[in-house]
Amino acid sequence: MKNTAIIIFCAVLLVSISACVKRPPDEPARTILSYSEPIVNPPDDFLVLFNNLSIGQKYAEITFSANEVWEVEKLGDGRYSLFISNFIENFPVQSIDSIGFEGGKKYQIVVNNVYYSESSVFFVGMKKLDLSYDDFEPKF
């Protein structure tokens, strides 16, 4: 009888503990690409890594395979500025935005840090959206 009570107590304790442990959701790993090499025909969901970002600007060159709509997300220190450049004008991204990109055309992802001297890591998230490029605005 005493052994049964101990077994039941241990089982209830294990169930209680396992219910309290939070497990992160199973998300597929995103491909990480470096800003220092040209990005051509990227995967549908990826991150651009800007490492050791200190004062100044860093650029990533990117070319898409077709006319597509992408979500562009600023992931990292909110004090840094993020722009998409088509070499004529800049499209600022405050936090997250959707942009129509023309296939075969070169763009730059520009990360700008003018105020903070500490070096840090900064990511730009990019995810292809299932939206019609022809019907979408803004195109850039």
Per the model's pLDDT, the better-predicted residue between 1 and 98 turns out to be 98
Taking CA 31 as the corner, what is the angle to CA 120 and CA 121, rounded to the nearest 5 degrees?
Answer: 0
The pLDDT, as a whole number, for residue 13 is 46
**Residue 118 maps to a domain:** yes
pTM for the model stands at: 0.75
**Residue 60 maps to a domain:** yes
Look up the domain containing 61 and give its range. Answer: 31-129
**Residue 136 maps to a domain:** no
Structural domain count, the chain = 1
**Residue 3 maps to a domain:** no
The pLDDT, as a whole number, for residue 6 is 61
3-class secondary structure for the chain?
CHHHHHHHHHHHHHHHHHHHCCCCCCCCCCEEEECCCCEECCCCEEEEEEEEECCEEEEEEEECCCCEEEEEEEECCCCCEEEEECCCCEEEECCEEEEEECCCCEEEEEEEECCCCCCEEEEEEEEEECCCCCCCCCEC
CATH number, domain containing residue 109:
2.60.120.1080
